[in-house]
Structure 1
Amino acid sequence: MAREPAQRELKQERAARTRMDILEAAIHLFARRGFLATTMADLSRAIRMTPGALYWHFPTKEDLLLAAIEDLHQRCVREFQPLGNYRELPAQAQFQAISERAHLLLREHREYGIFFAMLAAEAADANDQVAEAIRDKLALYAATLEELIRHGQETGEFRQDVDALHAAHSLLGGFLGVLVHQNLFRASMDFDLPMSVLSLLMATGIGTPPTAE
């Protein structure tokens, strides 16, 4: 009697691993080719799976893409967990901690940022459901930055004349934009330098200007 539950559990584990393999391939392909140019046939070849088996896991490309968005979001959330109680730090130190963590994450997984940037560009006018899913995730990241900026304004560390909401979206868009731009020029442009410069410009831009003596 014990064999049936064990076999069922093994099948579930295999199915879960297969699903993760599919999502990993999807993230890389969508980041490289975009949503519109990537087909289910491309994905099935990338993971060496028959199209029928792929459709068993994800009936449509949209289903697969939405699952990839959620999976990648959870990966990003886990990547920022090591920051721990960073919210107890001053606003400037919080901003630096987030910037450094984002820098390390995107250096290790450039495709994460490019995935979000590519889908944001394509889905806005092509697929309402995908666009909404991307907006939801990016809005969560922007909300964290907005909260941080408002905190810095309350403590006097950040400029009062900066709109926190629009500044947060500009900062987030800046990271994604520089990542895509550097990827285009990767043969002649190092990854770390433009990301570091962007972080410096951001911190300087929202920081309280020095008082004239």
Structure 2
Amino acid sequence: MSKEPAKRELKQERSARTRVDILEAAITLFAKRGFLATTMADLARAIRMTPGALYWHFPTKEDLLLAAIDELHQRYQTAFGDLINEYRTLSAREQLQAFTRRTHHFLGSNREYGIFFGMLAAEAADSNERVAEAIREKLGLYAKVLGGILRHGQKTGEFRQDIDAEQAAHGVFGGYLGALMYQNLFRATLGYDPLASALDLLLTDGTLARTKP
């Protein structure tokens, strides 16, 4: 049996692992410095790789950033996949509570993910339309899921009728991303969990959600 297929497979596995390492470093660095201030040389140093080797995997910084956005999207889908499948067995209020809890804990355990999206959304809106559109697409999908929960609750009478479900869903995600950015600034005196818990409570028991009279 020829050794060439085995060698080729090993090389592909190493390349895939290297790609994951690059994306992990990129997500962390972009979250800390933003897109505009981070160079490919910075990224190469962070993963102890020559710039030439990095360019072999990703020809441009934009290509790397778009790949990082797709990678994070896959992680979000994995984290929420089981919950979405269970939604059909829950009331709208239970769906909303489960969704906010999962969002709270997922972002709390992976702070750089939310900060990454927050930083990039702020920068790309006025500097790179291709990146901005990629972020809008992903965040729009998450907001669509939440908006569906809110609309369902309006139909069942569990949620108040005087809100626009789509606008509210976008506002909620903006709130969670903003909370991460804000808490990062005040991290010496302000914890993420209490801040996110306050958002959870406002959403599920406050201005958006109301139990039937």
TM-score range, shorter chain: over 0.9
Alignment TM-score, normalising by the size of structure 2: 0.96
Equivalent in the alignment of 1:208: 210
| Local SS of the residue matching 1:205 | coil
Q: Measure, in 1, the Cα distance between the counterparts of 2:143 and 2:28.
A: 24
Equivalent in the alignment of 1:24: 24
Structure 1 residue aligned with 2:48: 48
Aligned-residue identity in percent: 65
Q: What is the aligned partner in structure 2 of residue 13 from structure 1?
A: 13
How many residue pairs end up in the alignment? Answer: 211
Partners of 2:26 and 2:160 in 1: CA distance:
41
Compared CA separation, residues 192 and 89, structure 1 to 2 (3 A): same
Aligned positions of 1:32-43 closer than 5 A: 32-43=32-43
Q: Find the counterpart in structure 2 of residue 127 from structure 1.
A: 128
Which range is displaced more, 60-69 or 101-110? 101-110
Deviations 1:33-85 (A, max 9, x none): 00000000000000000000000000000000000000000001101123241
Match of 1:193 in 2: 194
Q: Deviations over 1:65-116 (max 9, x none)?
A: 0000000000011011232413320111101111111111111100000000
**Runs of 5+ in structure 1 lacking a partner?**
none
How far has the Cα of 1:176 moved from its partner? 0.5
Displacement after TM superposition at 1:208 (Å): 2.8
Counterpart residue type for residue 200 of structure 1: L
Residue in 2 aligned with 1:105? 106
1:141-185: CA deviation from partner (whole Å, max 9, x where unpaired): 010011110000000011111111101100110111111101111
Distance in 2 (alpha carbons) for counterparts of 1:15 and 1:87: 40
* Unaligned 5+ runs, structure 2: none
> Where in structure 2 are the equivalents of 1:57-206 lying within 5 Å?
57-83=57-83, 84-203=85-204, 204-206=206-208
What secondary structure is seen at the aligned counterpart in 2 of 1:206? coil
C-alpha separation in 2, matches of 1:141 and 1:82: 15
RMSD, matched Cα: 1.1
Aligned partner of residue 172 in structure 1, secondary structure: helix
Tell whether the 8 Å contact from 2:66 to 2:134 is kept in structure 1 after alignment.
Answer: yes
> 1:210: how far off?
6.6
Match of 2:207, SS?
A: helix
> Distance between the aligned counterparts of 1:201 and 1:164, measured in 2?
15
Letter in 2 for 1:88: T
- Kindly state the Cα deviation for residue 18 of structure 1 after the two structures are TM-superposed: 0.1
Distance 1:183 1:87 in 2: 36
Structure 2 distance, partners of 1:54, 1:87, is: 44
One-letter amino acid of the structure 2 residue matched with residue 180 of structure 1: M
